[in-house]
Amino acid sequence: MDKQPSSRTCFLCGRQNDVGLKMTWYNDPDAGQIRAVLTVPEQFNGYPGIVHGGIVATILDETAGRAVLLDGSDPDKLMVTMKLEVRYRRPTPTGEPLTAVGWVMQGGEKVARCAGELRLADGTVTATCEALLAKAPPAIADRWGKEKQYWHVYEE
Please give the sequence-ordered ranges of beta strands (E in DSSP) within 26-150, or none if there are none: 26-28, 33-39, 79-88, 97-106, 111-120, 125-135
Domains of the chain, first to last:
2-145 (3.10.129.10)
pLDDT score at 154: 85
pLDDT score at 73: 60
Task: List b or e across 41-57, with b for residues whose CB sees 16 or more CB atoms inside 10 angstroms.
Answer: eeebbeeeebbbeebbb
This prediction's pTM: 0.95
Interval 76-112: pLDDT, tens: 788 999 999 999 999 999 999 999 999 999 999 899 9
Lateral strand order in the sheet of 2-3: 2-3, 26-28, 33-39, 97-106, 111-120, 125-135, 79-88
pLDDT score at 151: 85
Say if residues 40 and 55 touch (Cβ distance below 8 Å): yes
The residues of the chain scoring below 50 in pLDDT are none
